[in-house]
Structure 1
Amino acid sequence: MSETFEHSGTVTSTAPAAAVWALWSDTTTWPDWDPSVEAVSLEGDFAVGTTGTMTLAGPFEVPVSLEVVEPGARYLDQLTMGELVIRIDHVVVDLPAGGCEVTVSTTITGPGADGIGPMVTAEAPQAMARLVERAEGR
């Protein structure tokens, strides 16, 4: 039986969505704001279908693919670890009064998803806070 784990978080920022997108679409910045990521190597542009390797704290390498890319607004990356699939959806929208809202949703499916989910998402609030801090500092 396959398990599913879901986690979502939303933060607001005084930075425009474009500043958040600039950090998201430049994978060399990911280790700066996401404590669980040591490195990301994509075999192509930041576009749908691009694949590569993400080195997570540990360190261990996992295959990563970009499943959805809507420039300036959203991307969804997928990590595959055997039968376990981690999909992380990142959405940023400008707010009418200025600044932006950032939502990151993680869905993990496969054996042991309920057990690994809390570990995978434990640093998500810190990563989002650091992302916003860096975007506001641009």
Structure 2
Amino acid sequence: MTFEHTETATTSATPDAVWALWSDPGSWASWDPSVESVAFEGHFAEGAAGTMVLAGGIEVPVVVELVEPGARFLDRLDLGDLHIRIDHVVTAVDAGAEVSVNTVIEGPGADEVGAMVTADAPQALAALTALAESTS
């Protein structure tokens, strides 16, 4: 079973301002209501592994699968037979940046989990872009 959800926003913030927040996992809890904390072993880079604590104190392993500095990163959370991949892309547009977050969940119960995982996506993207705008 597969679930997919994409959330996109345009912001006056620069792509660099968005990237600065994305590449600082310590900031994720400040703009994503579903995240309590994130800790990676080492730097934010391709192959980095760590732990994400989701709202409610749920700890899950997280791995950064892909990094295109300043433009894109893909992270993966594995919950047994359930796999969550979140692809984050920022591109320059005339007045700032377009920010897109695509979530793909595969495994048993993907539809139910997907609805829960992406419920806060609009708020997270709005908070991310507002914070990026305040630093641009």
Query: Shorter-chain TM-score category?
Result: over 0.9
CA–CA distance in structure 1, aligned partners of residues 63 and 42 of structure 2:
11
> What does residue 50 of structure 2 align with?
52
Instruction: In structure 2, give the amino acid aligned to 1:114.
Output: D
Q: Gapped runs of 5+ residues in structure 1?
A: none
2:105 match: 108
Secondary structure at the counterpart of residue 45 of structure 1: coil
Could you give the per-residue CA deviations for residues 97-130 of structure 1, whole angstroms, max 9, x where no partner exists?
2300000000000001011110000000000000
Deviations 1:29-78 (A, max 9, x none): 10000000000000011111110000000111000000010000000000
1:121 is aligned to 118
Cα-Cα RMSD: 0.5
Counterpart of 2:47 in structure 1: which amino acid? G
- The structural deviation recorded for 1:81 is 0.5
Structure 2 distance, partners of 1:131, 1:16, is: 12
Q: Does residue 1:131 correspond to 2:128, yes or no?
A: yes
The ranges of structure 1 where at least 4 consecutive aligned residues each deviate by more than 6 angstroms after the TM superposition are none
Once the two structures are aligned, what percentage of the paired residues are identical?
Answer: 60
Report the TM-score when normalising by structure 2.
0.98
Count how many residue pairs are aligned between Structure 1 and Structure 2: 135
Equivalent of 2:13 in 12, 15, 39: 15
Q: Given the two structures, how large is their TM-score scaled by the length of structure 1?
A: 0.97
Cα-to-partner distance string for 1:75-101 (whole Å, 9 max, x where unaligned): 000000011000000000011x23000
Please state how far the C-alpha of 1:9 moved relative to its aligned partner.
Answer: 1.1
User: Partners in 2 of 1:105 and 1:122 — Cα distance?
Assistant: 13
Q: Could you tell me which amino acid in structure 2 is paired with residue 36 of structure 1?
A: S
SS in structure 1 at match of 2:74: strand
For 2:127 and 2:95, how far apart are their aligned partners in 1? 19
